């Protein structure tokens, strides 16, 4: 087991290249189940969530061949194998096997998904969608059993705007008989990416990127080649790190329109943001002004950037308020930031961050993926050395983060933990 050490006080400069989007990748891989022939996906991020999903595709009989960031998936021998336990528990996105296997085999048995602990992560809207398409869904001892005689298109209104439910219903509906209309659909770029893959496979989908998606079912889908979009959350994390501890940082391979809500807030704080062709320049000036943020569905401020942004607010003049309306309990990073000297009050679901304070290096624990990112940014800003444990969360979503930060001039490295440290970590 490893820990990450971050020595603060090294100014970030230079260029960082962004990887493929985790939150697209985790849906694109299960979507390949729906094809009758080989699917090739290029530009995948080299992160553990991607490899876990690759293993799950193999468990159901898929042939999965990796070549760096490209994967070839041969679905010919896939079967509707139950996946009640094991790797499905490692990540949230295993729930996309429900929609994809239902769409392909008209049945699926999948354990309840894992993923970051952000408070309750219900899947009632996914189930509502599957049922509307004609499936019977039961929960038996922690596994979801989904079966349909036939899938028939339906009109489905989502009671909450959900990325997961929108994608899962699309996966289940692309081969259903007739027309499916998803109303109050989510509009995230990752949904458009998944719809692009499905369309390249022969699906008929209209309206993605709006809140009404129309799908005309087709009898079969074929293989295709697809290149993933860049990861807006990884790009946003580096933009925040650059604002917090950088001089001039160029973020390469980014679609800046996907980050408008973050970029607007950075500009409001006094950070210089220049948008180029697939690049962003972030130049940080001191002192930064505080701002308030409220996370919202796309194109609002992303919940996945809330935690690292909280860290940035520790260095701004005055008080900033962070409210996560998507996952109100996504606040576990705050106790760890407090260990580093941050002054943060939690009141009525909002975090109130007083600044500016000088963060101090400490031993802290990443409790989830973006909490990990928040602590790394804090380490870059802090005096002395910050030791971060819980790296398995960070490795679920950030490709080569130690190397990328080192290339930008940070002093970041990993070390094996000794037995005493492992015991302390396990008991904490
Ligand atoms: C809208 C939004 O910002 N979604 C984010 C959410 O996606 P994720 O797919 O986890 O969450 P959803 O978009 O599905 O859920 C949005 C909201 O709807 C609720 N909900 C969802 C499904 C359901 O069946 N019932 C229900 O009540 C959730 O509890 C949440 O409050 O976390 C991901 C990982 O951090 C992010 O990448 C997504 O951008
Ligand atoms: C919380 C996240 O991931 P997951 O939903 O896969 O747990 C995230 O990407 O920030």
Measure the N-to-C terminal CA separation of the chain; round to a whole number of Å. Answer: 15
Tell whether ligand 2 has an atom less than 6 A from the beta carbon of residue 92: yes
C-alpha 1/C-alpha 6 separation (Å) is 17
Residues 220 and 237 in one domain: no
The reported pLDDT for the residue numbered 376 is 98
CA-nearest residue for atom 8, ligand 2, is: 304
C-alpha 323/C-alpha 23 separation (Å) is 22
What is each CA distance from 170 to 3, 146, 154, 191, 207, in whole angstroms?
A: 39, 16, 11, 9, 12
Residues 197 and 75 in one domain: yes
Sites in the chain below the pLDDT cut of 70: none
Residues 6 and 30 in one domain: no
Residues 71 and 60 in one domain: yes
Q: Point out the domain boundary residue: 177, 212, 227.
A: 227
Is 304 annotated in a binding site? The answer is yes
Residues 85 and 147 in one domain: yes
Residue 114 alpha carbon, nearest atom of ligand 2? 7
Task: Give residue 148 CA to ligand 2 midpoint distance, Å.
Answer: 29
The reported pLDDT for the residue numbered 112 is 87
30: how many CB neighbours lie within 10 A of its CB?
A: 26
The reported pLDDT for the residue numbered 169 is 98
The reported pLDDT for the residue numbered 114 is 77
Residues 236 and 219 in one domain: no
The pair of three-digit structure tokens given for residue 48, joined into one six-digit string: 């553990």
Task: Give residue 118 CA to ligand 2 midpoint distance, Å.
Answer: 9
Is 85 annotated in a binding site? The answer is no
Tell whether ligand 2 has an atom less than 6 A from the beta carbon of residue 93: yes
ipTM: 0.97
Tell whether ligand 2 has an atom less than 6 A from the beta carbon of residue 116: yes
Q: Tell me which H or E stretch contains 195.
A: helix 189-200
CA-nearest residue for atom 26, ligand 1, is: 122
Is 326 annotated in a binding site? The answer is yes
Cβ(59)–Cβ(124) below 8 Å: no
Q: What are the residues facing 252 on neighbouring strands? A: 17, 279
Tell whether ligand 2 has an atom less than 6 A from the beta carbon of residue 35: no
Residues 215 and 252 in one domain: no
Domain holding 243, by residue range, is 2-19+230-427
Residues 299 and 259 in one domain: yes
Domains in the chain: how many in total? 2
Is 33 annotated in a binding site? The answer is no
Give the CATH number of the domain where residue 49 resides. 3.65.10.10
Is 45 annotated in a binding site? The answer is no
C-alpha 324/C-alpha 176 separation (Å) is 36
Task: Give residue 297 CA to ligand 1 midpoint distance, Å.
Answer: 9
Active-site residues: which are they?
Answer: 116
The reported pLDDT for the residue numbered 85 is 84
Q: Point out the domain boundary residue: 173, 199, 227.
A: 227
Task: Give residue 232 CA to ligand 1 midpoint distance, Å.
Answer: 16
Ligand nearest to C-alpha 118:
2
Tell whether ligand 1 has an atom less than 6 A from the beta carbon of residue 294: no
Tell whether ligand 1 has an atom less than 6 A from the beta carbon of residue 121: yes
Q: Point out the domain boundary residue: 167, 194, 227.
A: 227
Instruction: Show the CA angle centred on residue 278, arms to residues 370 and 225, nearest 5°.
Output: 85
C-alpha 369/C-alpha 380 separation (Å) is 17
List, for residues 114-164, the tens digit of each pLDDT value.
Answer: 777 877 889 999 999 999 999 999 999 889 999 999 999 999 999 999 999
Helices 260-269 and 232-245: crossing angle in degrees, nearest 10, is 10
Residues 126 and 197 in one domain: yes
Tell whether ligand 1 has an atom less than 6 A from the beta carbon of residue 311: no
- Non-local (6+) Cβ contacts of 354 within 8 A are 318, 319, 343, 344, 345
Task: Give residue 23 CA to ligand 2 midpoint distance, Å.
Answer: 7
Residues 47 and 153 in one domain: yes
Residues 289 and 193 in one domain: no
Residues 209 and 336 in one domain: no
């Amino acid at each position: 087991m490893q820990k990450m050490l971050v020595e603060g006080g090294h100014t970030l400069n230079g260029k960082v290249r962004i990887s493929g989007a985790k939150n697209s990748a985790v849906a694109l891989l299960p979507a390949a189940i729906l094809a009758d022939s080989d699917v090739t996906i290029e530009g995948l991020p080299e992160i553990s969530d991607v490899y876990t999903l690759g293993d799950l595709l193999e468990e159901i009989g898929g042939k999965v061949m990796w070549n760096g960031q490209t994967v070839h998936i041969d679905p010919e021998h896939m079967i509707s194998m139950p996946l009640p336990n094991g790797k499905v528990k490692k990540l949230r996105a295993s729930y996309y096997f429900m929609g994809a296997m239902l769409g392909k085999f008209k049945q699926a048995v999948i354990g309840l998904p894992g993923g970051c602990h952000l408070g309750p992560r219900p899947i009632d809207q996914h189930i509502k969608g599957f049922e509307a398409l004609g499936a019977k869904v039961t929960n038996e001892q922690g596994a979801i059993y989904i079966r349909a005689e036939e899938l028939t298109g339906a009109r489905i209104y989502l009671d909450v705007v959900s990325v997961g439910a929108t994608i899962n219903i699309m996966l289940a509906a692309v081969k259903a008989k007739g027309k499916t209309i998803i109303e109050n659909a989510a509009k995230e770029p990752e949904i458009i990416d998944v719809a692009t893959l499905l369309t390249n496979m022969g699906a008929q989908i209209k309206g993605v990127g709006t809140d009404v998606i129309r799908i005309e079912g087709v009898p079969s889908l074929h293989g295709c080649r697809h290149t993933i979009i860049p990861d807006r959350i990884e790009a946003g994390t580096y933009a925040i790190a650059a604002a917090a501890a950088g001089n001039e940082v160029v973020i390469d391979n980014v679609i800046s329109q996907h980050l408008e809500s973050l970029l607007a807030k950075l500009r409001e704080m006094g950070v210089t943001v220049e948008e180029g062709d697939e690049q962003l320049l972030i130049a940080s000036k001191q002192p930064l002004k505080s701002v308030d943020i409220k996370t919202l569905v796309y194109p609002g401020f992303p919940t996945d950037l809330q935690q690292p942004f909280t860290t940035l607010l520790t260095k701004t003049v005055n008080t900033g308020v962070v409210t996560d309306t998507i996952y109100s309990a996504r606040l576990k990073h705050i106790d760890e930031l407090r260990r580093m000297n941050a002054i943060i009050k939690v009141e009525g679901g909002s975090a109130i961050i007083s600044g500016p304070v000088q963060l101090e290096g400490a031993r802290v624990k990443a409790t989830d993926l973006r909490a990990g990112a928040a602590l790394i940014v804090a380490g870059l800003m802090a005096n002395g050395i910050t030791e971060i444990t819980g790296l398995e969360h960070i490795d679920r979503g950030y490709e080569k983060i130690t190397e990328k930060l080192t290339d930008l001039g940070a002093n970041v490295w990993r070390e094996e933990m000794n037995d005493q440290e492992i015991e302390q970590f396990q008991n904490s």
